[in-house]
Structure 1
């Protein structure tokens, strides 16, 4: 079993290192919240009518990484991984065929692509693509800050889901 190590950025880091450090910290936090659980436990939903589960959150974050760092930042024409027009929340609709191994590997691949794409931009550089709903462009600073917020919010959900699964709590 892998043990996720979380590292806060140095308190005197420059802006980019700080932002990327906090984003990685929150990515590591979500992985940590999922550690040591079976596929069945990772599929455990919150409470009705919510379809939220830890595996669903990881699949959702793979979609979010893909959207912001590929579609918006670099204007890459990539389709969705788990959702569709017919099922816009498909990342949360798990079947017995869905596995943690696949979800985790997909999420990690999207994170690595995100890191590579972000490395090509300065914090003030404007995205090559646009948000599909608003048509807006964003600088990298905004995207990274938004991703920190997105992970932090969902890590709160992950805390509650993990506690429901096995009683584990943590920071």
Structure 2
């Protein structure tokens, strides 16, 4: 197996920052407030097509009100002890998913067949070219050999003539 290393400078600065926060007035915060464990928040955003690397930064605060963070109990603790204190205390897990790529181009059904056929044709052409190049090389080799033989014969004949003259 051949592994190619792609040299990308990950220490360089970013070219574009895409904010994935909620759209609100300037007086309110940009973060998503999660009310309970089944609450889902989403945001539509577009990623440029020439992007090759992305980083997602998530900030999750385990208490909603700074003043009463110590009294914000975990849901399981409150329900097991039959308490009547505020819930939704500590986050145990935050899941982020990126999905629903809406702008996908629809592919035709026959495109795969066509592409494989065209690939096969291209491979055949390449093979033919290689074979023809090999044939040409062989012919050239044969010609060179014949030339060498002729030269040798001429030299031999010249030597013989010189010997006869002497």
Same fold, judged at TM 0.5 (above): no
TM-score (norm 1): 0.18
Structure ID, larger Rg: 2
Higher relative contact order (CA 8 A, sep 6+): 1
TM-score (norm 2): 0.18
